[in-house]
């Protein structure tokens, strides 16, 4: 057991996440190089990054799919996931964070906390993932390490504790001061930063270094009482005690250690690796995974131990060379080739054919995997994203949140003979990507696919052409609308049907009223107050939910409605399910017709960085697009505009914003919520 405990203690399951273009994949490539996993530096801008292995990633210079690898540093095994930074691929970050124990959040030294940084940070908050921060690109013009920390406090309300400060600014950046050892670290240029020297702190940085070391100790004193006693005694504090205090505080989510560097110039990576093993948790440092017993509904826990029953979560599915590869995280127990596992979500058993340790798209075949492992599995034919696998003691782990698509396109093959192949391909892609939705429009004889944004669908269309060899006709992007109501309405409705010469009747009384935006359909039964034992509540709810799939105005799904089921009755128990379901279906639709139905459009959160001389033109254009400006913030010669924009008005915006600012403005846009727009 001691050997097993030590093995688990030396595992780190971590993700690297950031806003697009913060240098996340460049950091990952340096980590691979310095840990000996690769022998040549991969570069994003050259399309040679190991972790960006899809052709679409190499062409665009961005990460599209999360990639897993295993590497070793200081006798620790690190299972690392590099995640996308573009908002269209947020599901990749979501499902990675669901199974990780720690995270490295990377911030651009110039841009600081950018919109997708916030999204990623809040995803990590949701899963209570401890994290450390790395401020990258300190060699760029306008980089400011201390401003990024101020932004972290302002945007996240966290307690960042700098463990380093930079030496030099912008293109004069040449190293860092380690505030724990009070030594400078300077990297050697002649061997791609693989070696570095610890030297004395330059005289001009001595004062600021001592100031920030004092601030570090003050913050640790406020977090840890034992550290406060040592600090107030005034004696020298051992480095091991400082590291242990930081580790405890990081795992308890009381602070975020901050390191810095410039990955493209090969500076700052080795101390970041030290920080990962020193401060981020192992599988035994995080609380035991919890889930519901599918039989009793009671909460149960699984300890991170090999002698516990298998508990694993499938978090990603890839169709590779026609075979389904399922990525899983093992929280407890052992899994071997040939084992039979039980899928708790679908109530079926499946057999493990092969197990792989993954290195991006490369696979190393292994015979078994133990607690703490992240591996690829072949043989799980029906297992999908978010499913729980066990052996003898079923437990249902909480699945990850799946985001709703907001944009659609119609696709059809250029050759009729490819029609069946196209449908099979689209089904495979939708199995890989839960945010990609496939629908066949029978009335228009069209295949309609929906996704998270224009780039998301563009990448999928590109994959269909290049990977599967199907040439497509692609329709113009269409917004995925929804419908809601604005008023309250009450209705009583009876459904009658003659069955076997007997009139069967179901009667229902309900009212509908607007629910809060983003709250969805909420059904509140009141029947129990009149009839304590009413066996068909579920049937009535099914009728309401089926009716909500087809809206009143244009047939878009209904949402954000509160439904009170007041009373219900039936005259024939044998056909009560049918009559009550139809009564509920028709009653809900009639009530919504009377309740002022409206169409909702996706509202996007828009952040634009624009030079001040173009501010007036940009704001005028936003007003013309019916955007609501939330606030403006000015920094030096640029203004950052935060606005909410209806997606219907934002197609082609990238071209327009470049035209209005002579190519000098930049923007990011991601889905925020659904709402109506006047005269939309």
Q: Over 90: is that where the pLDDT of 575 sits?
A: no
Of 598, 617, 604, the C-alpha closest to 648 is: 604
pLDDT at 65 (0 to 100): 63
Query: Which range in 92-106, 239-253, 384-398 is most confidently predicted, on average pLDDT?
Result: 239-253
Neighbours of 529 (CB within 10 A): 9
Region 499-518 average pLDDT: 88
pLDDT at 48 over 70: no
Q: What is the pLDDT of residues 325-353, one digit of tens each?
A: 888 899 999 999 999 999 998 899 999 99
The first and second tokens of residue 234, run together, are: 């005034």
Q: Which of the two residues, 105 and 435, has the higher pLDDT score?
A: 105
Summarised one tens digit per residue, pLDDT across range 112-169 is: 887 677 778 877 888 889 999 999 999 998 889 999 999 899 888 889 999 999 999 8
CA distance 335 to 212: 48
Q: Which residue has the higher pLDDT, 534 or 211?
A: 211
Q: E strands of 594-646, at which residues?
A: 597-611, 628-635, 638-646
pLDDT digits (tens, 9 = 90+) for 440-464: 765 556 788 888 777 788 888 888 8
Check: CB of residue 421 under 8 Å from CB of residue 468.
yes
Q: pLDDT: is 404 or 197 the higher one?
A: 197
Let me know the angle formed at the C-alpha of 345 by 344 and 347, rounded to the nearest 5 degrees.
Answer: 60
- For residue 589, what is the enclosing H or E element? helix 576-594
Q: How far apart are CA 652 and CA 577, in angstroms?
A: 50
DSSP 517-575: TT--EEEEE-HHHH-SS-TTHHHHHHHHHHHHTS-SSSSPPB-SEEEEEEEEEES-GGG
166-173's contacts with Cβ under 8 Å and 24+ in sequence apart are 166/138, 166/260, 167/202, 167/205, 169/138, 169/143, 170/138, 170/139, 170/140, 170/141, 170/142, 170/143, 171/139, 171/141, 173/138, 173/139, 173/143, 173/262, 173/265, 173/267
Residue that wins the pLDDT comparison between 403 and 61: 403
Strands 311-320 and 323-332: antiparallel
User: What letters, b where the CB count within 10 A reaches 16 and e where it falls short, cover 159-177?
Assistant: ebbbbbbbbebeeebbbbb
The reported pLDDT for the residue numbered 484 is: 93
pLDDT band of residue 40 (cuts 50, 70, 90) is low
Q: What is the pLDDT of residue 53?
A: 47
More confident residue, 3 or 465: 465
- Whether pLDDT at 44 is above 80: no
As a three-state string, the secondary structure of 161-228 is EECEEEECCHHHCCEEEECCCCEEEEECHHHCCCCEEEECCCHHHHHHHHHHHHHHHHHHHHHCHHHH
pLDDT at residue 58 greater than cutoff 80: no
Distance between CA atoms of residues 43 and 426, nearest Å: 31
Q: Could you tell me whether strands 256-260 and 160-162 are parallel, antiparallel, or unpaired per DSSP bridges?
A: parallel
Element (H, E) at 98: helix 90-99
Question: Which bin fits 52, alpha (ψ -120 to 50), beta or left (φ > 0)?
Answer: beta
Q: What percent of the chain has pLDDT over 90?
A: 37
- Round to whole Å and give the CA distance between 446 and 440: 6
Q: What pLDDT sits at residue 45?
A: 45
Residue for token digits 């101020």? 150
pLDDT (mean) for 316-322: 76
Mean pLDDT value of segment 537-547 = 91
CA dihedral 260, 263, 266, 269 (to 10 degrees): 50
Question: Three-state DSSP class for 417?
Answer: helix
Does pTM surpass 0.85? no
Quote the CA–CA distance of 249 and 246 in Å, as a whole number.
5
How many CB atoms sit inside 10 A of residue 436's CB? Answer: 19
Q: Do 196 and 185 meet the contact criterion of CB atoms below 8 Å apart?
A: yes
Rounded Cα gap, residues 225 and 220, in angstroms: 9
Q: Identify the top-confidence range among 30-44, 113-127, 233-247.
A: 233-247
Dist CA 352 CA 339 (whole Å): 6
> Reduced to 3 states, what is the DSSP secondary structure of residue 286?
coil
**Lowest mean pLDDT: which of 118-122, 343-347, 515-519, 529-533?**
529-533
Q: Please, are residues 28 and 95 in contact by the beta-carbon 8 Å criterion?
A: no
Q: Quick check: helix, strand or coil at residue 402?
A: coil
Region 198-209 average pLDDT: 92
101: pLDDT strictly greater than 70: yes
SS3 for 339-397 is: CEEEECCCCEEEECCEEEEEECCEEEEECEECCCCEEEEECCCCCCCCCEEECCCCCEE
Of 118-122, 225-229, 318-322, 379-383, which range is least confident? Answer: 318-322
Buried b (16+ CB within 10 A) or exposed e, 543-575: bbbebbeebbeeebbbbbbbbbbbebbbebeeb
The predicted model gives 214-237 an average pLDDT of 90
Instruction: Give the integer Cα–Cα distance in Å for 45 and 60.
Output: 9
Chain mean position to CA 83 = 9
Lowest mean pLDDT among 166-170, 210-214, 526-530, 615-619: 526-530
Q: What is the pLDDT of residue 33?
A: 86
pLDDT digits (tens, 9 = 90+) for 625-657: 889 998 888 876 778 898 999 988 887 787 788
Phi-psi region of 460 (alpha: psi -120 to 50; beta: other; left: phi over 0): alpha
For residue 574, the model assigns a pLDDT of 82
Q: How confident is the model at residue 213 (pLDDT cuts 50, 70, 90)?
A: very high
Distance between CA atoms of residues 145 and 169, nearest Å = 9
CB 27 within 8 A of CB 135: no
End-to-end Cα separation, the chain, in angstroms: 65
Mean pLDDT of 320-325: 77
Question: What is the pLDDT, as a whole number, of residue 433?
Answer: 80
CA 415 from centroid of its chain's CA atoms: 37
Residues 142 and 110 sit within 8 Å (Cβ to Cβ): yes
Helix axes 145-156, 115-126, angle to 10 degrees: 50
Is-contact 526 566, C-beta < 8 A? yes
Q: What is the pLDDT of residue 590?
A: 94
Summary mean pLDDT of the chain:
85
Q: Which of 13-22, 82-91, 176-185 has the lowest mean pLDDT?
A: 82-91
Average pLDDT estimate for 288-295: 88
Q: What is the mean pLDDT of residues 369-388?
A: 89
């Amino acid at each position: 057991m001691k050997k097993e405990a030590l093995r688990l203690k030396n595992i780190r399951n971590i993700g690297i996440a950031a806003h697009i273009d913060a240098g996340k994949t460049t950091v990952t490539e340096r980590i691979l190089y310095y840990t000996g996993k690769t022998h040549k530096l991969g570069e994003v801008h050259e399309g040679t990054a190991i972790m960006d292995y899809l052709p679409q990633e190499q062409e665009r210079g961005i990460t599209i799919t999360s990639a897993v690898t295993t590497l070793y540093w200081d006798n620790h095994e690190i299972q690392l996931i590099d995640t996308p930074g573009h908002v269209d691929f947020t599901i990749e970050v979501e499902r990675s964070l669901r199974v990780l124990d720690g995270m490295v959040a990377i911030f651009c030294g110039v841009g600081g906390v950018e919109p997708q940084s916030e999204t990623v940070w809040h995803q990590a908050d949701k899963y209570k993932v401890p994290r450390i921060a790395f401020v990258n690109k300190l060699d760029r013009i306008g980089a400011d390490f201390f401003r990024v920390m101020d932004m972290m406090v302002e945007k996240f309300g966290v307690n960042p504790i700098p463990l380093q400060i930079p030496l030099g600014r912008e293109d004069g950046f040449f190293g860092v001061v380690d505030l724990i050892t009070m030594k400078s670290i300077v990297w050697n240029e002649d061997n791609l930063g693989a070696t570095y020297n610890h030297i004395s702190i330059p005289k001009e940085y001595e004062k600021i270094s001592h100031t920030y070391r004092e601030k570090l100790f003050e913050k640790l004193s406020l977090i840890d009482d034992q550290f406060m006693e040592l600090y107030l005694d005034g004696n020298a504090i051992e480095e091991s005690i400082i590291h242990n205090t930081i580790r405890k505080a990081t795992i308890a989510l009381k602070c975020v250690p901050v390191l810095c560097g410039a990955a493209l110039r090969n500076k700052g990576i080795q101390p970041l690796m030290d920080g990962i093993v020193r401060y981020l948790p192992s599988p035994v440092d995080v609380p035991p995974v919890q889930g519901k017993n599918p039989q009793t509904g009671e909460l149960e826990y699984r300890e991170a131990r090999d002698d516990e029953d298998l508990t694993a979560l499938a978090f990603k599915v890839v169709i590779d060379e026609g075979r389904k590869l399922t990525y899983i995280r093992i929280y407890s127990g052992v899994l071997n080739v040939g084992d039979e596992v039980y899928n708790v979500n679908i109530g079926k058993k499946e057999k493990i054919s092969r197990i792989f340790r993954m290195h991006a798209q490369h696979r190393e075949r292994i015979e078994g995997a133990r607690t703490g492992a992240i591996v690829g599995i072949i043989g799980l034919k029906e297992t999908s994203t978010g499913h729980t696998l066990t052996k003898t003691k079923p437990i249902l782990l909480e699945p990850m949140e799946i985001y709703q698509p907001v944009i659609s396109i119609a696709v059809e093959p250029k050759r009729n003979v490819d029609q069946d192949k196209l449908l099979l391909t689209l089904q495979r892609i939708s199995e890989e990507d839960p945010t990609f939705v496939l629908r066949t429009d029978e009335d228009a004889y069209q295949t309609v696919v929906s996704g998270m944004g224009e780039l998301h669908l563009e990448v999928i269309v590109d994959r269909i052409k290049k990977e599967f060899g199907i040439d497509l006709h692609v329709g113009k992007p269409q917004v995925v609308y929804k419908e809601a109501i604005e008023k309250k309405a009450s209705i009583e409705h009876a459904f009658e049907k003659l069955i076997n010469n007997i009139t069967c009747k179901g009667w229902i009384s309900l009212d509908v009223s607007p629910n809060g935006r983003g709250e969805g359909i909420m059904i509140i039964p009141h029947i129990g107050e009149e009839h304590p034992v009413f066996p068909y509540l579920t049937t009535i709810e099914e009728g309401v939910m089926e009716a909500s799939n087809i809206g009143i105005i244009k047939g878009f799904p209904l949402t954000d409605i509160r439904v009170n089921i007041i009373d219900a009755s039936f005259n024939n128990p044998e056909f009560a399910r049918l009559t009550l379901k139809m009564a509920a279906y028709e009653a809900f639709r009639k009530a919504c017709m009377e309740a002022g139905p409206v169409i909702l459009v996706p509202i996007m959160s828009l952040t634009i960085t624009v030079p001040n001389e173009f501010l007036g033109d940009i704001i005028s254009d936003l007003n013309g697009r019916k955007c609501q400006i939330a606030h403006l913030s000015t920094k030096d010669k640029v203004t950052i505009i935060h606005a909410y924009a209806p997606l219907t008005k934002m197609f082609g915006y990238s071209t327009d914003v470049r035209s209005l600012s002579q190519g000098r403005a930049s923007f990011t846009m991601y889905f925020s919520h659904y709402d109506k727009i006047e005269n939309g």
